[in-house]
């Protein structure tokens, strides 16, 4: 019997972080022109990224949905929506509901956010129950200085060991952490709700390379997810900060082609 090509329900979306420091508007335009299935909005200092009306207008203009919202829980976005961590999460959930996104991506608490960390597990579960939005906690990595690993996140940078219902697997972060991305995906099982597609070479720097340019099993992971009928979103989140507009477009087109190729699973 001949093999048929099976394309799963997973959407390939573009993170607005992939055009940083350019604007949300530029990300939507590029996503439409290149043929992405959706956009993930990274909430940051760009006012448009914080405003449901403006984001909805962009989605309608370009005919492309917003599949997820990334909460401003990075070091670089600590001043967005004020200093309170739960305010950032609640605003992100509200934004996701208003723009029709089904997932909010967030990082685990920093070690100095002890009160937030103490409430994190229960707080995430409560908000998921009340909103119907998936709060997918992202895998991170240990911070390293002078050959030593520093505890940067609480309860831990590895979400596999935590009782989260939904997790985001980031392949640049697995490279930095030295984690086994395939083993993590297998251990997460149905808890794997969202993927940040990128690559890395294992340096201490979070590289966010175009998939296929690093050491991570990006293609194998996508093929595995396709075979399993993964229905979450695959979000391209690569660094293009130092590139020209033309170079950025080439890299993001390559990332999309990589995802499409490896998500096409052969079924006998």
pLDDT by position in tens, the chain (length 268): 444 445 556 899 999 999 999 999 999 999 999 999 999 999 999 999 999 999 999 999 999 999 999 999 988 898 899 999 999 999 999 999 999 999 999 999 999 999 999 999 999 999 999 999 999 999 999 987 666 777 789 999 999 999 999 999 999 999 999 999 999 999 999 999 999 999 999 988 899 999 999 999 999 999 999 999 999 999 999 999 999 999 999 999 999 999 999 998 654 3
The structural domains of the chain, with segments of one domain joined by +, span 4-267
- How buried is residue 196: exposed, middle or buried, by Cβ count under 10 Å (0-12/13-18/19+)? buried
Extract the tokens encoding 138.
């992202």
β strands within 83-221, DSSP E: 103-106, 134-138, 143-145, 148-150, 167-170, 192-197
Asked whether the whole model's pTM tops 0.85, one would answer: yes
Which CATH fold topology does 4-267 show? TIM Barrel (3.20.20)
């Amino acid at each position: 019997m001949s093999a048929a090509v099976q394309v799963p329900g997973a959407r390939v979306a573009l993170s607005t972080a992939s055009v940083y420091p350019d604007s949300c508007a530029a990300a939507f335009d590029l996503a439409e022109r290149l043929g992405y299935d959706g956009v993930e909005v990274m909430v940051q200092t760009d006012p448009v990224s914080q405003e449901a009306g403006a984001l909805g207008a962009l989605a309608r203009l370009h005919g492309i949905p917003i599949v997820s919202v990334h909460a401003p829980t990075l070091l670089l976005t600590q001043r967005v929506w004020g200093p309170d961590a739960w305010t950032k999460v609640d605003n992100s959930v509200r934004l996701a509901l208003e723009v029709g996104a089904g997932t909010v991506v967030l990082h685990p608490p920093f070690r100095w956010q002890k009160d937030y960390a103490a409430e994190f597990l229960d707080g995430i579960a409560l908000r998921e129950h009340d909103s119907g939005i998936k709060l997918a906690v992202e895998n991170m990595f240990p911070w390293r200085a002078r050959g030593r690993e520093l505890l940067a996140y609480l309860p831990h940078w590895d979400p596999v060991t935590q009782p989260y219902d939904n997790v985001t697997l980031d392949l640049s972060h697995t490279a930095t952490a030295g984690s086994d991305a395939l083993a993590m995906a297998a251990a997460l099982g149905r808890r794997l709700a969202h993927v940040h597609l990128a690559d890395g070479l294992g340096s201490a720097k979070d590289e966010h390379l175009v998939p296929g340019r690093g050491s991570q099993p990006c293609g194998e992971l996508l093929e595995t997810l396709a075979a399993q009928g993964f229905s979450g979103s695959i979000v391209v989140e690569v660094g293009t900060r130092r590139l020209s507009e033309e170079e950025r477009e080439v890299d993001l087109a390559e990332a999309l082609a990589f995802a499409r190729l490896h998500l096409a699973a052969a079924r006998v």
